[in-house]
Structure 1
Amino acid sequence: MGLYRRLLWSTILVLSTLVTQIPTASAENKEYHVILNYDSSKSFECLIQQTENLAQTKLNQEFTENPDITSISLMILGERNGQVVPLMMIATVSRSQWQ
């Protein structure tokens, strides 16, 4: 009986070790705050266009470079003469929405 018990426990230990070693897929949510420096020589429309381009570029870059990211929250802040104001806030973009 002792041999069967040892064999059973050995099998259980080997299986439990294998199960704990299996890598699990980890969903990752990222939050980014990006600061856009600007001067008063640009028009408001130009500033908004630059903000939209920066947001699209950042989303494309992060989803392309990191396949573990499932969603991204993005806030773009504008900085001028030491003052920082929010220009755009994207609450959450999932990978499926991005595609």
Structure 2
Amino acid sequence: MGLPLQKWVISALLVGSMATPAHAANRQIERLINAQGDDFTTLMQQANTIARDLINQSFADPTTTEVSLKVSGEREGQIAPLLSISVSRQDWQTRSSVQQWARYFGGSTTLLGFDRSPDRTQVAVFTPPVSTSENEPNFYDNR
């Protein structure tokens, strides 16, 4: 009588463990990188490399089914989005290319100040007028 009960308990445990639904995870990641130097191309290469690495790390977790990623850049106190990606595990396995799935933000060059050249920057210098006339209201004779 004890044997059939053991089979039933073991069967119930096995069926119960198989019926437990897997928890699919949509991972959302935001990353901020600092611009080193005056080269926007280098910054974008860094953004693409970081995006690829973060997506690969996310899909290393078997419960992750989709990754949404936003990489922004910071330069001289200004922050601007560089790229965003939303990709499923299946799509990434088919083609693991950041460029394939990324949306790039064209205005980032301007927002981060990469399109400003030193010769185009105008510096306003204020020079106060010098009053030497006794008729000026702010004239002060220190004699």
Report the equivalent of 2:63: 68
SS of 2:44's equivalent? Answer: helix
> Number of aligned pairs?
80
SS of 1:46's equivalent? Answer: helix
Within 5 Å, give how 1:16-95 maps onto structure 2.
Answer: 22-39=19-36, 41-64=37-60, 66-90=61-85, 92-95=86-89
How many Å separate the matches in 1 of 2:40 and 2:53? 20
Gaps of 5+ in 1: 1-14
User: How far did 1:26 drift?
Assistant: 1.4
What residue identity is the alignment partner of 2:29?
A: Y
User: How far did 1:30 drift?
Assistant: 1.1
RMSD, aligned CA: 2.1
How many Å separate the matches in 2 of 1:31 and 1:58? 11
> Which structure is larger by alpha-carbon Rg, 1 or 2?
2
TM-score under structure 1 length normalisation: 0.70
User: How far did 1:23 drift?
Assistant: 2.1
Do 2:31 and 2:70's aligned partners in 1 also have CA atoms closer than 8 Å? yes
What residue identity is the alignment partner of 2:44?
A: I
What residue identity is the alignment partner of 2:90?
A: S
Report the equivalent of 1:97: 91
Gaps of 5+ in 2: 1-11, 94-143
More helix by share: 1
Higher relative contact order (CA 8 A, sep 6+): 1
More strand by share: 1
- Percent sequence identity over aligned pairs: 37
